[in-house]
Amino acid sequence: MRMRTVAIIFLTAATISCRDAGTEVPPDGTGGTGSPAVISGVFPDSAAVSDTVLLVGSGLGDAPGASAVSIGGRTSTVVVSWSSTRIVVEVPAGSTTGSVSVTVGGQTSNTLAFRVLPVAEARVSYSGQVVPLFTSNGCAGCHGGTNNLFVTPHGSLMAGTSNHGPVVTPYDGEGSIIVKKLRGTAGFGNRMPQGSGPLNEADIQLLARWIKQGARNN
Ligand code: HEC
């Protein structure tokens, strides 16, 4: 129960961040009755049963009930949040590698490929693993109020107040600016941490995995 509440609060913040970054799917009239739902992305595109996934698109309906998400051949019964452009659901028991689709008012959307992992990835903890990674690598020193980026606490990291907007894109680890800055592939500024050697690959992947799992305040 507690986890669900956190996820909902968190998604509200994520929606706001997306709007700030100008990446919100524009209203295009597909939300009306009779127009098919379109899914443009599923994040992550592989997960285990009971993991949460985010579907982004348009005309996805406003609520479960009249609408349904199918993942790997099964209907998702646990809905974390639902809007016409973003749905977060759990991967249903019994689903197998295949595709994802949304059915709204009897019309089924396009499908996107989805892989069901046999075993859930170990959950990465923000307070237990991500914050220590930031402090031990000097990130918190330079990004604790300066350079327009706070890597802690969680709310500040997610606030999207840095020079390039949100640096964490929930459910998209490798696509997040913060991960690209660690790899030196962001396309602006320096590779982080500035002035010292790169983080090891395992640490970068840990951060990316936390984001891919929804970047929760856990
Ligand atoms: C010595 C100070 C310093 C350290 C240590 C440092 N940074 Fe930075 N960081 C900067 C400066 C200055 C910028 C702005 C210039 C740039 O983008 O290179 C920046 C930019 C960034 C940005 C882009 C923000 C934006 O949108 O403009 C991210 C993300 C970031 N750092 C993450 C990190 C992480 C994660 C660490 C720890 C691994 C870290 N930084 C360590 C100084 C530092």
What percent of the chain shows pLDDT beyond 90? 61
Nearest residue (by CA) to ligand 1, atom 35, is 139
Per-residue pLDDT at 204: 97
Task: Report the nearest atom of ligand 1 relative to the CA of 164.
Answer: 26
Distance 132 CA to ligand 1 centre (A): 16
CA distance 197 to 79: 42
Question: All domains of the chain, ordered by start, with CATH?
Answer: 2-116 (2.60.40.10), 126-212 (no CATH)
How does residue 208 score in pLDDT terms, banded at 50, 70 and 90? very high
> Residue 44: is the preceding peptide bond cis (ω within 30°)?
yes
Reply yes or no on whether the pLDDT at 4 is more than 70.
Answer: no
Q: Over range 11-27, report the average pLDDT.
A: 38
Q: Tens digits of per-residue pLDDT, 117-164? A: 988 778 899 999 999 999 999 998 899 866 679 999 999 999 988 889
Q: Which residue minimizes the CA distance to atom 16 of ligand 1?
A: 189
pTM: 0.69
pLDDT tens digits for range 65-109: 778 999 999 999 888 889 999 999 999 999 999 999 999 988 999
Is the pLDDT score of 177 beyond 50?
yes
- Binding pocket residue ranges, ligand 1, CB within 6 Å: 137-139, 141-143, 147, 149, 151, 162-164, 167, 177-178, 181-182, 188-190, 192-195, 199
Query: How far is it, in rounded angstroms, from Cα 218 to Cα 201?
Result: 23
Residue 6's pLDDT is what?
Answer: 41
Instruction: Give CA–CA dist 172/42, Å, rounded.
Output: 9
Q: For residue 67, how many other CB atoms are within 10 A of its CB?
A: 22
d(CA 44, CA 29): 27
CA distances from 132 to 136, 138, 206 (A): 6, 10, 12
Evaluate the CA torsion angle 51, 10, 202, 42 in order and state its sign.
positive
